[in-house]
Structure 1
Amino acid sequence: MANRPAAALVLREGDRERLVSLTRSTTVRAGLALRARVVLLAAGGVSNTAIAEQVGLSRPKVIGWRQRYVRSGIKGLDDAERVGRPREIDHAMIVAETLKPPPKRLGVTHWSSRLLAVRLKVGNATVARAWRDYGVQPWRSETFKFSTDPELVAKVTDVVGLYLAPPDNAIVLCVDEKSQIQALDRTQKMLPMQPGFPERRTHDYVRHGTSTLFAALEIATGTVTAACKPRHRHQEFLAFLKQIDRAYPDDGTGQELHLVMDNYATHKRAEVRDWLAAHSRFKVHFTPTSGSWLNLVEVWFGIIERQAIHRGTFTSVKDLNTKIRAFITGWNDRCHPFVWTKTPDQILKKANRHRTSETLH
């Protein structure tokens, strides 16, 4: 008599969704996803022979995984703990060597997996595995900067407090300049994006001069008041302050304009201080030294750089300024508020944590 197909496998409660997720996941091991597929097919009443043909396993293997599931559920589909000789290569030792600077004779600033493998007489894949296990990435390097401003706490509290709870009948403007914007023109025409091909441009270019963008970001709306100037001296900055004064005329209600600015020397020139003193509705808030990231207009400068400048081609400074103004016009039509979320205490706590970490190292 011919063998009858095995009865459909009965899944444990809630296992079907988890098994389906395993078969669709791109992060689990391929073997585990395959076993989950075997169990799902068995639960659907597919014969062991048909399952073996579909997934590329032998029939005894299919039967074995069915039985493992019956005994232990999804946990039984994991690889059994391997037996044999323990690993002789100490990953901690590899990481300890990685943290030491390479010998001067090598002339390198950091270890590569191949260089360290030669030194330790192991395979470079072993070094790479040790680095993954310990989260060590010698090829990466990041920067840090601590503010040495003696008024750090007061300035952070002042600026962030202005963002989180602006005064009544007041407008908060983040003011700064983006200097040395180059009018770069490619030597050949850009090749536009096509299906299967990104936009392409030549590596060489022609410089046509530079421009400075002065900008004031109103955080409550995201509206930007801006001006393009040939230089970024105090004369140009003073002219921009007067432009802000015209853009936000005194309405007779005592409305104040609170300006957040960094410590650039131009912002503190006597002529600028005198003008601000003569216009009492302007209130200035300086960010801490080395803390210009507290100025939200820097975020907007990043936006215009990515969306309009970095990939742009400009035949002259006039062309550059025209395209910058076109972006600003479009931006003001679609702008949105800039919302600050971190409190002063959270910022200072994180800064102190990083400072302590660097001191210990």
Structure 2
Amino acid sequence: MHRRPPSLSPGPGPGRGRGRAERLEFEYRRGGTLAYFAAYDVHRARVLGSIAEKTGIAPFMALAAQVMGTEPYASARRVFRGVDNGSSHTGAPSTARMNAAWPNATLVHLPVHASWLSQVEIYFSIVQRQAIDGADLEVLADRLMAFQSRYNTMAEPFDWKYTRHDLNGYLHRLGAHEPMFAAWPPTSLG
């Protein structure tokens, strides 16, 4: 998205330490869209990604093939893939597709509105700030893949401290305050 004219940065203003607020132009020109699919290995801090013109089952399964054709996943006894509830990989049909293609792969659907449980979302946040902002669509695909390569050379696993016990405690506290969650979880996770 390109604003016309460009935004005005915050700056000094008249009197008593008040500055001028940032000014954003409401008119803009869309630059088009791309779909960036990425899989994040939480143990090795490695990203495998692909670019597509749009989202859908075919590009999602292409990324799955890329992941499952790469070591250590290709020879692993079991591979768990945590996914959000995007339309290309939601529900029982997506699980069946994954199991038919790779019997050692299990899709784990995260709860709706729980993107904070997905470490790939942390990576996407980094990508947004460091690679996407201000990029033209013509160069965006190359820029994304170059960023992914550079990220993979320096990244370390996120220091993730949220455990299944933390999640169970949160769900029980939530159930005490929200009647609709009182029966959740039916059994403890893990």
Higher helix proportion: 1
Q: Displacement, 1:238?
A: 1.3
Show the counterpart of 2:66: 243
Match of 1:265 among 58, 81, 87: 87
- Report the residue type matching 2:80 in the other structure: H
Q: How does 1:273-288 map to 2 (within 5 A)?
A: 273-288=96-111
Q: Displacement, 1:251?
A: 6.1
State the identity as a percent: 26
Q: Displacement, 1:275?
A: 4.5
- Report the residue type matching 2:43 in the other structure: A
Cα pair distance change 1:307/1:279, threshold 3 Å? same
Q: Displacement, 1:210?
A: 0.6
Q: Displacement, 1:337?
A: 0.8
Show the counterpart of 2:13: none
Asked if structure 2 preserves the Cα contact closer than 8 Å seen for 1:238 and 1:272, the reply is: no
Structure 1 residues 248-286: Cα deviation after superposition (integer angstroms, max 9, x where no partner):
37665x443221112333214747723432312212222
Structure 1 residues 177-228: Cα deviation after superposition (integer angstroms, max 9, x where no partner):
xxxxxxx24556899xxxxxxxx99735421211111000011121100111
1:322 partnered with 2:142:
yes
Q: Displacement, 1:331?
A: 0.7
Q: How does 1:126-205 map to 2 (within 5 A)?
A: 184-187=1-4, 203=25, 204-205=27-28
Number of corresponding residues: 165
Show the counterpart of 2:184: none
- TM-score calculated relative to the size of structure 1: 0.40
Structure 1 residues 280-327: Cα deviation after superposition (integer angstroms, max 9, x where no partner):
2212222223333212111111111122223x231xx23111211121
Which is further off, 266-275 or 335-344? 266-275
Structure 1 residues 7-34: Cα deviation after superposition (integer angstroms, max 9, x where no partner):
xxxxxxxxxxxxxxxxxxxxxxxxxxxx
- Structure with larger Rg: 1
Q: Displacement, 1:231?
A: 0.9
Q: Which runs of 5+ in 1 are unaligned?
A: 1-183, 192-199
- Report the residue type matching 2:163 in the other structure: T
Asked if structure 1 preserves the Cα contact closer than 8 Å seen for 2:68 and 2:74, the reply is: no
- Report the residue type matching 1:320 in the other structure: L
Distance in 1, matches of 2:60 and 2:83, equals 12
Q: Output the aligned Cα RMSD.
A: 3.1
Asked if structure 2 preserves the Cα contact closer than 8 Å seen for 1:187 and 1:206, the reply is: yes
